[in-house]
Amino acid sequence: MEQEKIILVGVFLPNRTEEAFWNSIRELRSLTSTANGEIVDELIQKLERVNQASFIGSGKLLELAELVEMHEADVVIFNSELSATQVRNISKVVAARVIDRTQLILDIFAMRAKSREGKLQVAYAQYKYLLPRLSGQGASLSKLGGGIGSRGPGESKLEMDKRHIREKMDDIRAQLTHVEKHRKRIINRRNEQAIFRFGLIGYTNAGKSTIFNRLTHETTIEEDKLFATLDPTTRKIRFAGGFQALITDTVGFIQDLPTTLIAAFRSTLEETANVDVLIHVVDASDSDYLQHETTVLALLTELEMNHIPILTVYNKIDQITQGFIPDRPEHLLISALSSTAPTSLKQRMIELIEKNWHYFSKEISEEQGKELAQIKQRAWITKLEYLEDNKAYLVEGYQPRKEPTND
């Protein structure tokens, strides 16, 4: 697929530090690369406040038009959210498709969604984004499916009024309700199994899928691209003695995640909301790792998941810079690709199981072989000893809840 030529536009405002601004530009470059775009130039402007009419100043707008003409650029991507009026005014001067960061992220999600639910949620988020922007976008939105920022929900043209879009959204909502009910039935069945569940979360491209694959021997997508994993995947993880737990890999978080996506993917993240412990993977080699941590924790609060215990796993420690200092008390330092990573991570996971489940100790007679087999399957056994005098087994370990008493 031929790469489109992209010009990035960033406005440096007084409410951001210089470091935060350049980190956001670096992230926009990564997003553009993920969307298969070729960056041919960048336009940066320092402003006290954004121009309500065209976001950037009128002089910079003319400069942008010249850059588009010189490079024969296909798309201009702004590192902020634009209003419909701003897009319309910029498009009058610039001979290229004009999109913003939100539209770029929605576009990547449209590329990455594989499951029916994922595709429906992306389509819903895209329609929700388009609805207030229909008036005045004109030619820039006349077709969907024609390149970066226009991989749409499946309509070949946007010759539809707002009522038509609302009808489409209602239809998607109805389909989503059906899909969500099916997924909730699966989650409820898992809950009834009283199995310990871990959820992998973290900033996009932190290495969650690599860790997931090392722990489960699966082959989910591992790419050095943003949002490589979109649809949540749950697999079994096996420990010593036959004990099993579940682990779920999820979509990566990102700062300033479009609100349309937070709402749309809330249900997808329900798969992680039901876990016993969250494993928060942080790319320790990224100079902006503290901001990434903050973004993830803020989104957990917004998704009402901040009550779940968290183990912070600092990944890529073989590539860390001098300024790196772990700032979470419950943490582990690893390099996901090293041979020792799965063992050290599993050891910490066992410690977390012991911390969050209840300790038990009981004797089981020789005749109760079936009960012993069941306990081995659903509990983490720390001691199993045959008592010759009692003709029974002494079993110690941890299980989801205390055994009911008859007194």
Contacts of 214 (CB under 8 A, 6+ apart): 336, 341, 342
- State the CATH number of the domain containing residue 93: 3.40.50.11060
CA dist 383 and 364 (Å) reads 13
Domain boundary among 83, 111, 139: 111
What pTM was computed for the model? 0.78
Assign 190 a pLDDT band (cuts: 50, 70, 90).
low
Domain boundary among 84, 111, 138: 111
Helix (H) or strand (E) segment spanning residue 267: none
Write the pLDDT tens digit of every residue in 30-76: 999 988 899 999 999 999 999 999 999 999 999 999 999 999 999 99
Assign 138 a pLDDT band (cuts: 50, 70, 90).
very low
Sheet holding 380-387: strands in order across? Answer: 358-365, 392-399, 380-387
Assign 394 a pLDDT band (cuts: 50, 70, 90).
very high
Q: Does residue 240 form part of some domain?
A: yes
Contacts of 398 (CB under 8 A, 6+ apart): 353, 354, 357, 358, 359, 360, 379, 380, 382
Domain boundary among 56, 89, 111: 111
**What pLDDT score does 344 carry?**
95
Co-location of 263 and 215 in the same domain: yes
| Residues of the binding site | 202-209, 227-231, 249-252, 315-318, 335-337
Least Cα distance to 310 among 338, 271, 344, 282 occurs for 282
| Residues of the binding site for GTP | 202-209, 227-231, 249-252, 315-318, 335-337
Q: Does residue 122 form part of some domain?
A: no
Residues of the domain holding 60 = 4-111
Co-location of 200 and 345 in the same domain: yes
Assign 263 a pLDDT band (cuts: 50, 70, 90).
low
Whether 346 and 239 have beta carbons less than 8 Å apart is answered as: yes
Identify the residue whose tokens are 């984004």: 129
Q: Which residue has the higher pLDDT, 264 or 395?
A: 395
CA dist 13 and 223 (Å) reads 33
In whole angstroms, what separates CA 139 from the centre of its chain?
A: 32
Q: How many residues does the chain have?
A: 407
Mean model confidence pLDDT for the chain: 83
Share of the chain above pLDDT 90, in %: 42
What's the token pair of residue 106? 């929605």
Assign 91 a pLDDT band (cuts: 50, 70, 90).
very high
What's the token pair of residue 164? 């038509």
> How many folded domains does the chain comprise?
3
CA dist 112 and 92 (Å) reads 32
**What pLDDT score does 112 carry?**
76
The pLDDT of 347-360, averaged and rounded, is 94
Co-location of 351 and 363 in the same domain: no
End-to-end CA distance of the chain, in Å?
71
Co-location of 259 and 321 in the same domain: yes
| Residues of the binding site for Mg(2+) | 209, 229
Whether 285 and 271 have beta carbons less than 8 Å apart is answered as: no
What's the token pair of residue 137? 């976008």
pLDDT at 135 over 80: no
Share of the chain above pLDDT 70, in %: 83
